[in-house]
Amino acid sequence: MTAEPLETTTKTRYDADTLAALTADATAIMERYPDPRSGLLPMLHLVQSVDGYVSRDGILFCAEMLGITAAEVSAVATFYTQYKRHPNGTYTVGVCTNTLCAVMGGDAIFDELSDHLGVGHDETTPDGAITLERVECNAACDYAPVVMVNWEFFDNQTPETATALADKLILGEDVVPTRGAASVCSFKQMSRVLAGFPDGRADEGVGAGEPTLAGLKIARERGWTAPDADTGSEPEGTAPSSTQPVGKPGSSAERKPATPSDTEVGKDKKPGEDAK
């Protein structure tokens, strides 16, 4: 097998219009940072917004724009799971299988979807519609188990609702996230947003629903407030921490000494020296 000439292996193969648009967007990204090289992460999302994954051409493009090697770009692209090294589906369906979602049914949802779609983790359906993934906690544990479609929330899912959702995506039907934006965009559109080019949908819909706000509601009902963030001082009308009453019976403040470390703190200190 004959190796490709160096000229063709180190140049991107984008057509002139695509290259011009990519160059303009990448320049805008680089101008956001004191060191243009810091723009690599959004630039990789930009490449995904065009190619649907971090392609060979995308890697060469980033390297050329930033004056670094293709190996350095690859090292970053292979480190983060959000960067795909093979063509991604139109929709990434991410099933949260972290602890809380898993025990609430996330594992069962993933298994059902995997059987239904005939693909495993990080695999794409033959029609290119869905890439199925196990994903980490999405800070939506109060709605567990959660399924994300291109990072939009589908809360309180079951194997049945998740497979119905996947079927709609495959058929090209509209799906409506439980919270946030009113619709789900494509993987390429989402990648452009992650590259830092907003699509105007960020403030759509409700972000924090009732379960998320339950603690805030209780705190307001009981008049609880947090210490001042700047000074660390207690809010007006609250006794200083040093004079706050200790915990109720059964709290750690009332616990009887039970181990040597409970009584030997500062044992080797000189008289008058505080235990630290």
**Distance of closest approach, residue 260 Cβ to ligand FES, in angstroms:** 38
Interface residue with ligand FES among 96, 132, 165, 184 (CB under 6 A) is 96
Minimum CB separation of residue 139 from ligand FES in Å reads 6
C-alpha count within 13 angstroms, C-beta hemisphere, residue 120: 0
Q: Which stretch binds ligand FES (CB under 6 A): 133-141, 161-169, 204-212, 249-257?
A: 133-141
Tell which residue, 217, 117, 97, 233, has the closest CA to residue 165: 117
- Minimum distance, C-beta of residue 1 to ligand FES, in the bound complex (Å): 47
144 binds ligand FES (CB under 6 A): yes
How many beta carbons lie within 10 A of that of residue 46, not counting itself? 26
Length of the chain: 276
Residue 256 to residues 103, 247, 266, Cα–Cα distance (Å): 36, 13, 18
Binder of ligand FES out of 100, 108, 129, 170 (CB under 6 A): 100
Asked if 140 touches ligand FES (CB under 6 A), the answer is yes
CB of 206 to ligand FES, least distance (A): 17
Provide the 8-state DSSP code for 104: I
Segment contacting ligand FES (CB under 6 A): 37-45, 95-103, 117-125, 172-180?
95-103
Of 18, 138, 158, 189, the residue at the interface with ligand FES (CB under 6 A) is 138
Sign of CA dihedral 233, 237, 238, 242: positive
Q: Which residues of 249-267 are buried (b: 16+ CB within 10 A; e: fewer)?
A: eeeeeeeeeeeeeeeeeee
The residue behind tokens 């919270």 is 179
Q: Shortest Cβ distance from residue 184 to ligand FES (Å)?
A: 18
Q: Is residue 178 within 8 Å of residue 153, measured between CB atoms? A: yes
Q: Compute φ and ψ for 38, nearest 5 degrees.
A: -65, -15
- For the bound state, the minimum distance from the C-beta of residue 144 to ligand FES, rounded and expressed in Å, comes to 5
Query: Total number of residues binding ligand FES (CB under 6 A)?
Result: 11
Pick between residue 161 and residue 189 the one whose CB is nearest to ligand FES.
Answer: 161
Q: Using CB under 6 A, which residues numbered 173 to 232 contact ligand FES?
A: none
Q: Which residues bind ligand FES (CB under 6 A)?
A: 96, 98-101, 137-138, 140-141, 144, 146
